[in-house]
Structure 1
Amino acid sequence: MLLDADFFGRAVSFELSLARISSPYRRRVFRLCVEGRQLRDGVAARHDPQTFAHAANQGPLTMLRWLRQRADTGRKAEELYGSVVTAARQQAFYGRLGVPDTPEGRFELVAIHLFLALEALRGKGGEADELARRTIEAFVVDMDDCMREMGVGDLTVPKKVKRAAAGFYERAASYRSGLSGAGSLSTASPKLTEALRGYVYDGAGEREEDAVALAHYMQAASSALSDLEFEVFVNDGTASRLLAAATSKPKVSTT
C-alpha cells in the first residue's frame, strides 16, 4: 500500500506493504473498535531493510545508535498514539455531543485528535517529523488490527486501510483550512464547523449545534497545544476541561 504524501504535505512516498502490516511479529497496539481496551502492548520494531542495511554498513556503533534511536522514536510514537486514543474516548463526545459510539464515530474522533497531535509537531523538523511518521504508522497498524478483529477478509483489509489513511489526510486538510480561518476562540470557525458536521455527523443539518461545540473544542485544543505536548494536554486534564467548556457554551452561531 503506497501513500503518496506525508502529513506535512511534502512530495514523498513510503510503502506499508501487506507483509509489514500483517507480520506475525507485530504486537497489537490501540483498538478504537474495542470498548474499554484502548491500551495495548507496543508495536514491535519493524525494520526498513534499506535503512537498516545503510546503518549496518557504517559500522557496529552506528548501527547500534540507529537501532536505539529507532526504538526510542517507536516508543514515543506508541505513547503519543495512546494519548490520541485516550482523548478520543472521552465520554462527553459520545454523550453530550452525540458522536455515534460506533467504529465510524470512534474513527472520526481518533482522526481529530491525531490531527491535533501531529499539527503540534508541524514545522519542528528532524525528530518531530520522524515521530509524526511513526505515529501515523501506529494509526495505520491500528486500522489494520481493528478491521481484522471485525472480520474483514485478508484480501480486503489493505484496500480498507488505504481508504482509512486517505480519509485521515482528507480530514486533516479540511481541519487545517478551517483552523487557519478561525478568529477569536469565542466564535466557532464556520469552515471548521461545516467540515465537522460533514465528517462527524454525516452532514445532518440538525447537528449544527453539536458541530459548533466540537469546533470550539478543536480551536481551544489547537491553541493550548502551541504550549503543551499532546501527552501533557491529555494527562493533566486540559483536554477534559476544554471539552467541558465547549459543551457548556451556548451553541447558537458560527458567525
Structure 2
Amino acid sequence: MLGSKYARVTVKDRTLAGAVYYLVSGHGGPDPGAIGHYGKHPLAEDEYAYDVTIRLARVLMEHGATVYMIVRDPNDGIRDEPILKLDRDELTYPSQKIPLSQVKRLRQGVDAINKLHRKYKGAYQRMVTIHVDSRSEGQNIDVFFYHHENSKSGKRLATHIHKSFQSGYRRSQPNRTYLGTVSDRSALYVVKNTHPPTVFIELGNIRNAKDQQRFLLANNRQALANWIYTGLQTAYKTR
C-alpha cells in the first residue's frame, strides 16, 4: 500500500500504541474532486489528498498506532514526483468499488469506519479526512479544520492540529502570517455521521499558483503530514 520505496516501516517508538486512526482522503474512484492546472498538467484533488494521507499513515505507524486507510489505491503508494497522475482505481476499505453517486460514496466510507469503530469499542479512536479546496485562481488560502459542533473531542483534535500548523509555519516561514481557522461544519456528511471524533481538513486551493506549491513538492506534502501527526500526537498524549 505504501509503495516499494516506502514499504518498510520501522517503528521508532510506541508513543501512539493503543490509538486507532481512520484516514480518509477526499473523493477517489470515479470522482477526482477539485481539478487545478499546472501548465498543461491537470492536478486532481484526490491524488494530492491521497499522497498526504498515506504519508500521514506511515508516520502514525512509525509511532505504534493502528491505522486504516479507508480510501485505498492498489497501485499508488507514496509518490515523490510533483505531477501525480490521475487515475480512477481507488477502492473503499477493505476492497469495495467506489460508486459515482456522492451520497453512496460518502455512506460507503462512513459505514466502513463505523463497522471498525464497533470492533475497537473502548479504544481511543479518531478519524481524519483530508481534502483540497477549489476556489478562484487568485485566492490563496491557508489550511482549515472543521469538526462537529457537539463533539468536544473533535474540536480538541482540530485545535491541536491547528496549533501544530501555526508552530510549523512560524519555524519554516517566520515572516508569513498563518490565517487558518478551526470551526464547526456539522452539516458535512462524514462529520455528521462518523462515530469516532472527526477532523475535516482543507489543505488549500488547488487552483491557486501559490497554494499549488504546497502540493507539488513532495517535501511540502510530507511537511503537511508531519504537522498533522504532531497535532494528533499531542491530542493523544494530553487526553
- Which has the larger Rg? 1
TM-score, scaled to structure 2: 0.33
Higher share in helix: 1
TM-score, scaled to structure 1: 0.31
